[in-house]
Amino acid sequence: MPAIAAGLQGVVATETKLSMVDGQAGQLVIGGYDVGEIAGKVSFEEACMLLWRGVLPGKEEVPGIRKELATLRALRPETLEIIKTARNAPPIDALRMACATLSLDVSNPNDISPAGDLAMAKRLAARFPTVVAAHARMRQGLEPIAPRPELGLAENFLYMVFGEKPHPSAAKALDTYWVTVIDHGMNASTFTARVIASTRSDMVSAVTGAVGALKGPLHGGAPGPVLDMLVDIKTADRAEAWLRKELEEGRRVMGFGHRVYKVRDPRAEVLSRTAEEMAEADLHNRKLYDLARSVEKTALKVLDEVKPGRNLRTNVEFYTALVLQSIGLLPDQFVAMFACGRVGGWCAHVMEQHGQDRLIRPQSEYVGPRGLRVAR
């Protein structure tokens, strides 16, 4: 038997044109562009089309793309009923349950042709935010708000959650966040989607599986606890003692360290700028942002001293927490918000896998007993 790669560490399973992660250089390339080159400069709808078609749409195409996706946002009654039933469940669970119903209005949900996949990708990207927004309303005992077709995807999501048109900076921050997290190499949820797609299963099945994989705390992350950490630290002068105590007691410092990146996560670089832009508009957020920057600096120093050689640097969770709370979202919604961005990448990987049409079927080495007999 060949050597076992636990967790498939170091195994290259496929070729892709969608994204490249260089953990040593701290680089993330999405469809040929460094993440900092497109996040904040193109809309989420445009970034989706980049991954789905291989090129950014021209400026003249953008209004038509936005209009098309806007027509797909509304949910069927069956989906709304599932969300209502799951109104007390975590948002990511409600999204997983609802996702499985999003092909009910498709005449041939098993169509995995390039055209069929593209049509389904548009539905999923358009409807994921609607699901999360409807759940946010229903768990408060409120009725869902119908989408407004003249609003962009991010702006419309915030309108459906809060009942009023958001400040432009809030919509831009959410758009930037979704583009930043749209794809990230062969992560666990993406691999899950590709394994399902490799059986020639449909896109909705593959993406539903991806949502289930994202829910796990080793993958979906924990941006919510970053806020808990900052609230507990309170002031910059308390940070070093607090951080050292956490490490002495064997606990993780949230928002630092990554399985791949050995330098600062490039997504953290993008989102730190977004958090700063949001902070400039609000005194409370400014104070939290200033505290976060101070805690980040102290944490990097303490981690280098306590865990030398581990290269535990700022990851995407740290500034995700600041960005999402600044637009009024709750910590338990953060993973579902991540899914609303990552669905663009999941759909692109399903398309790519369907195009390759190769079953993913690794081997395993049996280490259990042999030769047992039934004693009766």
Helical pair 114-138 and 203-215, crossing angle rounded to 10 deg: 40
Tokens of 153: 């995807």
Is 317 among the residues known to form the active site? yes
Neighbours of 84 (CB within 10 A): 14
| CA–CA distance, 121 with 351 (Å, rounded to integer) | 9
pLDDT 10s digit of each residue in the chain, 376 long?
Answer: 578 888 888 888 899 999 999 999 999 999 999 999 999 999 999 999 999 999 999 999 999 999 999 999 999 999 999 999 999 999 999 999 999 999 999 999 999 999 999 999 999 999 999 999 999 999 999 999 999 999 999 999 999 999 999 999 999 999 999 999 999 999 999 999 999 999 999 999 999 999 999 998 888 766 788 999 999 999 999 999 999 999 999 998 989 998 889 899 999 999 999 999 998 887 668 899 999 999 999 999 999 999 999 999 999 999 999 999 999 999 999 999 999 999 999 999 999 999 999 999 998 889 999 999 999 8
Q: Which domains can be identified in the chain, with CATH numbers?
A: 19-220+331-356 (1.10.580.10), 223-326 (1.10.230.10)
Please tell me the distance from the alpha carbon of residue 219 to that of residue 339, in angstroms, as a whole number: 12
* Beta strand extents in 31-140 (DSSP E only): 33-34
Catalytic option among 155, 184, 246, 258: 258
| Pairing assessment for the beta strands 19-22 and 33-34 based on DSSP bridges | unpaired
CB 285 within 8 A of CB 328: no
Report residue 265 as tokens: 């996560």
The owner of tokens 């640097």 is 313
Q: Tokens for 78? A: 């069956």
Of 317, 349, 352, 354, which residue is the catalytic one?
317
* Cα–Cα distance measured from residue 234 to residue 196, given in angstroms and rounded to the nearest whole number: 45
SS3 303: helix
Concerning whether 352 is annotated as a catalytic residue, the answer is no
Tell me the pLDDT tens digit for each residue of 269-310: 999 999 999 988 876 688 999 999 999 999 999 999 999 999
**DSSP 8-state class, residue 256:** B
Q: Does pTM top 0.85 for this prediction? A: yes
CA distance linking residue 107 with residue 119, whole number of Å? 12
Q: Which two tokens stand for residue 59?
A: 């400026």
The strand pairing partners of 29, in sequence order, are 20, 34
